[in-house]
Structure 1
Amino acid sequence: MAPPILSLVLPSETGRVLSIQSHTVHGYVGNKSAVFPLEILGFDVDPIHSVQFSNHTGYPSFKGQVLNGQQLWDLIEGLETNDLLYYTHLLTVCDPVMGDEGKLYVPPELVAVYREKVVPVASMLTPNQFEAENLTGLRIVTEKDGLEACNILHAAGPSKVVITSINIDDNLLLIGSHEKEKGQDPERFKIVIPKIPAYFTGTGDLMTALLLGWSNKYPDNLDRAAELAVSSLQAVLQRTVNDYKRSGYDPQTSSLEIRLIQSQDDIRNPEVIYKAEKY
């Protein structure tokens, strides 16, 4: 699982999101994981597909195109020429994402670009454990390490930081931190999430979209937004596992395509099962 790195969020009653992510014809990763949930939560979403593949790269093969910098810029210029760059939110992924599971997906020199150019302009940062380690230079093996990583990332710019998945013992730990005023101690919390014995794709992209959506509805309560996002995501994943089992597949043998369309109610009105514990 490789979550996106950042989202820029400005509070708004009626949100308009520009989502710059990858796209697959089949399956749910990138914009295919993010656009639909945001629309369910009441946002207008304009997607820019930085990558268009037949399917995600976890399959034996894939075909498609990658937009270069000029092609991406042409799309932005087209919007600007027609006075269409009036978005309240920018949801973007550094494509490809930095990495996960101890593996870097990008050239090492790009990490410095992310750290020095991207992080300072983000209002919310949502790295996984591996990405947080690379952005901070800190090895994260305990809750204390996770909190220190949040402090380092706050100092770089973002007021909201959510480290989405820290592996501790048999659980995943989400650690969130909201620095409401510069120089003041941030409000910090954790959510303990039981591991589901399966491998999914697109979960990080979905999680970031849910965090964007719910944090816009609860701009001063990041812990509440995270509770709703985590509970919604876990309901989607459990539905996915159950569906594969009913179809006779072993969920532990291959990566699972999340059952997004079938989980509309879990996205729109999640039952909050996973509670935030404030530090």
Structure 2
Amino acid sequence: MSIYDRRVLSIQSHVVSGYVGNKAAVFPMQVLGYEVDFINSVQLCTHTQYKVFKGQVLNADELKCLYDGIKENDINRYSHVLTGYVGSTSFLREVIRVVKDAQQANPNMVYVCDPVMGDNGRFYVPEELMPIYRDELLPLADIVTPNQFEAELLSGIKITNEEEALKAMQILHDKGVKTVVLSSIETGKENTLTLIGTQIKDGKKTGCKVEYPKLNMRFTGTGDVFSALLLVWTHRHPDNLQLACEQVLSTMQGILQRTYKQAHLLAGAGGTPSPAESELRLIDSKVDIETPPEPTNIKGVALSF
């Protein structure tokens, strides 16, 4: 085994306190045995749901400086690159350069792209990032993990049901992406979310659909944890996307249920948890990350094409 077999470069946001971006993604990958180098696209005191958030936005030159230093030390060989939140077009274009260089250094490198742009119909990055993701970054990606809103933006298709989701996902495949996973689609079932994943390998398309409970609480950082876990479990089960997704969701349910219970305990009877009380109980969930719980409330089925 090479020292580069489980070595990840993660480029996304950072917070001093709490769990989003790299603070949410790095720990699970490390617990599961992966070496993780990480570069922060922004660094803030907290995530943006707090009443006050302050910090710095890194620019493209700073990303270039850090990555080029790694390259000059001849340690820029990674098994995976993971990208998440990026706040500017210049930084995103530098990400493209880094991904291409990492692919050249290791032709077997797997690029996992979480195209973080917004949610629930609202952008929280500049809208001009969308065509860069769609036209320039997606063709480089092996795995993409958009949410429903992001999948609609990237495909140009409104998603209201499973058929439309699969059509949108095929458009992303047509751009060269091997694996597309939509983590949380609203399909009209009360208190239930649906994951749909599709994969094209050796010209054959396979897929899965997994339903899981929806908790009535606003969480932050869940997409960042999800993409990190998917990176690991698809690496461990490259030919079984359904199993990989079930393992990811089992861990996510353990983390979210623990977070939900603790947040409401701290908020008190009838209270609404504050952002601080709602932070993911990531460290407390180490055992669920190491060994995903038995998926008693998760229903997965294979899709036929």
Do these two structures clear the TM 0.5 threshold for a shared fold by scoring above it? yes
Instruction: Determine which of 88, 92, 101 is the counterpart of 2:83.
Output: 92
Paired amino acid for 1:264:
K
Aligned residue number for residue 5 of structure 1: none
CA distance in 2, matches of 1:64, 1:13: 33
- In structure 2, stretches of 5+ residues that fail to align are 88-115
Paired amino acid for 2:249:
V
Instruction: Determine which of 224, 235, 247 is the counterpart of 2:243.
Output: 224
Q: Deviations over 1:98-130 (max 9, x none)?
A: 110110122322211110011000000000000
Paired amino acid for 1:259:
R
Aligned residue number for residue 19 of structure 2: 28
Paired amino acid for 1:17:
V
Secondary structure in 2 matching 1:165: strand
1:1-279 alignment runs, 5 A limit:
14-96=5-87, 97-169=116-188, 170=190, 171-182=192-203, 184=204, 186-249=205-268, 252-255=272-275, 256-273=278-295, 274-279=298-303
CA distance in 2, matches of 1:159, 1:117: 16
Q: Deviations over 1:227-259 (max 9, x none)?
A: 000110011000011112332446755442000
Aligned length: 266
CA distance in 2, matches of 1:267, 1:241: 17
CA distance in 2, matches of 1:251, 1:163: 32
RMSD, aligned α-carbons: 1.5
Tell whether the 8 Å contact from 2:11 to 2:40 is kept in structure 1 after alignment: yes
Tell whether the 8 Å contact from 1:244 to 1:251 is kept in structure 2 after alignment: no
Tell whether the 8 Å contact from 1:241 to 1:251 is kept in structure 2 after alignment: no
Higher relative contact order (CA 8 A, sep 6+): 1
Secondary structure in 2 matching 1:108: coil
CA distance in 1, matches of 2:66, 2:240: 35
Tell whether the 8 Å contact from 1:197 to 1:252 is kept in structure 2 after alignment: no
CA distance in 1, matches of 2:57, 2:4: 34
Identity over aligned pairs, percent: 46
Paired amino acid for 2:280:
I
- In structure 1, stretches of 5+ residues that fail to align are 1-11
Change in CA separation of 1:253 and 1:247 when aligned onto 2, cut-off 3 Å: closer
Aligned residue number for residue 4 of structure 1: none
Q: Cα distance, 1:206 vs. partner?
A: 0.3
TM-score under structure 1 length normalisation: 0.92
